[in-house]
Amino acid sequence: MDIVVENIYLLVIVTLISVLQNAFFANKVEQECKAPNAHNTSAFERVSCANRNCMDVYPTFLAVMWCAGLCLNQAPAAFAGIIYIVVRHKYFVGYMGQTSQSTPGFLFGKRILSFLFLMCVVGIFNYLLVRYYGSNYREYVDIITKASSALLLLP
């Protein structure tokens, strides 16, 4: 059992942080919902909309992060997950502060999700290469992945 945990513990930690963030978002909605005269104000609508946009993408994010972590390497996947959580926090706060005319778009964190998606593709491709040709580039791939994950820090 500990062999399993060894390969996923970073992913579990990032998942737990994202769950905490979900709870924070849901609490914000609950708070606005219970405020007097809340249902008519735009504050409730904005926070509810921001929460729904975040929740819509959440299963996709979890799926891509776990697949990337299982297929290739958990460290860069967890790192990208952390950055995604930061970006999502900025998006949520930005959504609440804006007037409804200038809301940020529906999508966010495209670069990070693309990076995780690419990690999955590389991992699957590497597995198929090993299986059918016997050539193993995993070491090089790991180094390249870890180095390129630092690029996500660029604004």
- Tell whether residue 147 is a contact of a copy of itself (CB under 8 A): no
Alpha helix segments (H runs only) across the chain: 2-34, 42-71, 74-97, 110-133, 138-149
- Tell whether residue 146 is a contact of a copy of itself (CB under 8 A): no
Q: How far is the CB of 151 from a copy of itself (least distance, A)?
A: 20
Instruction: Fill in the DSSP letter of residue 151.
Output: G
Among positions 24, 35, 42, 56, the unique one binding a copy of itself when judged by CB under 8 A:
56
First-last CA distance in the chain = 39
Q: How far is the CB of 138 from a copy of itself (least distance, A)?
A: 9
- Tell whether residue 83 is a contact of a copy of itself (CB under 8 A): no
- Sort 45 into a burial class: Cβ within 10 Å, 0-12 / 13-18 / 19+: middle
- Tell whether residue 24 is a contact of a copy of itself (CB under 8 A): no
Tell which residue, 96, 105, 98, 112, has the closest CA to residue 155.
112
Residue 27 or 150 with smaller CB distance to a copy of itself:
27
Tell which residue, 52, 49, 46, has the closest CA to residue 96.
46
Q: How far is the CB of 108 from a copy of itself (least distance, A)?
A: 10
Residues that bind a copy of itself (CB under 8 A): 1-2, 4-9, 12-13, 15-16, 18-20, 22-23, 26-27, 29-30, 33-34, 51-52, 55-60, 62-64, 67, 70-71, 105-107, 113, 117, 120-121, 123-124, 127-128, 130-131
